[in-house]
Structure 1
């Protein structure tokens, strides 16, 4: 008797448990965008290292308010004042310059008037006195954790790491991924198909989804529905960390992914999950290699890649939270009751409410291209009126973030 499809959460957990821990390497900060930090990153310095002015104006002692003052020099960014500010004295100061010794306040230039070296108050003094002063260590202190292990490295984190004194970061090595799409009906991109054929769009779509991560991608196909051809393609990808196939994972006479995997010595870990679209997902291993057999319908391939391929890649790269996170969104229209499987419906979220695309066929690409979210309808869920919430997954940057 055929085993029932696995629940989504169980299938994801089983897949991620297979993810090997890739070796750590130290890469130049400039090469680390999109990687996940392998270890906590500690600051090697304090920022600011000394108190700085946040504005252009004059540095002085707050005890000398309301003035007047005598200007005795200047502190500019990169060129600090070498002396000390005493009673009744001030220095000209620019944004980012070190606050001179003895000063604890910056008076804005628009709140002052200067005649030669004589300075007087014309506006309101800062409240509190330290308002325009960036205290030493305001941003971070030496030995403080700047970025936690498992965090994805963004442009802002690259800047933070450099500010913290780092030129190289510990990250996992890049994942090698082979994408194989198969089917006698497929023709390469750019070839106009006959009536019985289709352009091979899944492989490039899957490669594009993976390209947002530090992954080295090889694409093969379309491969004919012949066991020997599929075995040859799998053997050619023997050195890849992950193989992702598209099509041929179901139980039809021409669905040859399972027998091909058996022929190359792979072991099936699980097959079929309780979601729509995407039920005939297959997961296998060959040594340390993980093989994902995705369905051939484009919406099914996209959804399963979003829920399984991308989380697997993130896990292997060291992400602390590899699975996508759902958020609640208000329905703009009623949602019918659910069926026997959890559904991922192509939808458009406008920031306030979510509207389902009227075309939900798993073979249709136009609703997938319009969608910026996947709305979740749980198995057996009751009908929901407009205005109630459903979970959605945001497809930022086309579902690749």
Structure 2
């Protein structure tokens, strides 16, 4: 039997299988949160002309006084060329007339019957936003693989783009399975538990903008699993929860084989989450998560979310870690790398409660995962520790 894979190797092998999704053009304001499928060049120059950065007077040469000959407002420029010794009243964002070489602040100006003097003369070029100082037509505004954030949306619109090329939304099917699962949380028999994993995983995926289809809960039955898997035919990615371990009733592996899927790898050297399974069916990627809710959450965070981000075209799909200070002594770790549910406060991190893989109350309280290497000794309070913040927790 092959040894369980380490986290980074398993993530790399999974991301290498990510489906390649096509691109599509969508209205720019509908692209928020989507991933750019191509570089986006500027279609115009910004600003398109020299603009005033302040309210005041646009001056044409000399030390003054200057004869006031007109006004330039935002959206209503002064069209004539200023001669030396002339000026115009100008507002913030208005075009600087040809011939003007600086802007005198309103508070530094004295108006004597249309003759403008300066109490403090600005140097040449002061308070003028030069044409193209932000970007020129043809400059690369946005890079392929970047998510469209509010600021990037504004930049794209300023660059003249009413539509943007983005990766098609990933189609993700999420299925949970197990005879013990009840679809109605308000009507559980003593031998049942509410089905919550698929809802949790779908909620984790929601901020990524993918199209999620829920399947199940499905009983531990080959025929029922075959029928459920058929509902995932059109999915780019299938995420299952439960049935991926080695028990007599863990039927995901044989059901996937019946469906024509091929196992890529199975079992990861982490806790919780060892019985993670990855398979492919043509271009479709199947990620089988453990059934315990905390194990399902942790493996979805470390594997399912990066897989969807990579399929969407993100260049850096893996979760980022940071260093924090242990606010309490942390216990020694066994032979598997362990991810402890924790709460961070003021740069310190403490355990959220029970670390049992079924303890949802501790998971719900956690805002981060402490990353503890295999065979680590106890860690005293005050020591630095690696932490993953739960962006989708």
TM-score w.r.t. the length of structure 2 is 0.95
1:285 is displaced (CA, Å) by 1.0
Secondary structure, in 3 states, of the residue corresponding to 1:259?
Answer: helix
1:121 Cα deviation from its structure 2 partner = 2.5
**Stretch moving more, 83-92 or 175-184:** 83-92
What corresponds to 1:54 in structure 2?
53
In 1, the alpha carbon distance for the partners of 2:342 and 2:146 equals 29
The answer to whether 1:224 aligns with 2:219 is yes
- Summarize deviations over 1:32-71 as a string: whole Å, max 9, x none: 112111111111111111111112111114x534x33222
The one-character-per-residue Cα deviations of 1:114-139 (angstroms, maximum 9, x if unpaired) are 244222324x444x553422122121
The within-5 A match list for 1:2-401 is 2-61=1-60, 63-65=61-63, 67-122=64-119, 124-126=120-122, 129-350=124-345, 352-396=347-391, 398-399=392-393
| Residue ranges of structure 2 left out of the alignment (5+ in a row) | none
- Give, in whole Å, the separation in 2 of the partners of 1:304 and 1:26: 33
Q: For each residue in 1:319-355, what CA deviation from the matched residue of structure 2 results, as whole angstroms up to 9, or x when unmatched?
A: 1111111122222223333321111222222352222
Deviations 1:215-257 (A, max 9, x none): 1111011111212111210122122111111111111122111
SS in 2 for 1:211: helix
1:135–1:330 distance in 2 versus 1, CA, 3 Å: farther
1:64 partner SS: coil
Q: Equivalents in 2 of 1:335, 1:355: separation in Å?
A: 9
Q: Does the CA-based 8 Å contact 1:330-1:388 persist in structure 2? A: yes
| Cα displacement (A) at 1:284 | 0.7
| CA-CA distance at 1:30 after TM superposition | 1.9
The ranges of structure 1 where at least 4 consecutive aligned residues each deviate by more than 6 angstroms after the TM superposition are: none
Q: Which runs of 5+ in 1 are unaligned?
A: none
Partners of 1:229 and 1:381 in 2: how far apart?
43
Q: CA RMSD in A?
A: 1.8
Contact 2:174-2:202 within 8 A present in 1 as well: yes
2:197 and 2:67 mapped to 1: Cα distance? 73
Are the counterparts in 1 of residues 326 and 349 from structure 2 also a CA contact under 8 Å?
A: yes
Count of aligned pairs between the two proteins? 393
CA contact (8 A) 2:51 2:96 kept: yes
Contact 1:189–1:201, Cα closer than 8 Å, also in 2: no
Q: Which moved more, 1:138-147 or 1:364-373?
A: 364-373
Query: Partners of 2:21 and 2:315 in 1: how far apart?
Result: 14
Contact 2:19 2:236 in 1 (8 A): no
Matches of 2:298 and 2:12, distance apart in 1: 17
Quick one: distance in 2 between partners of 1:156 and 1:285?
A: 37
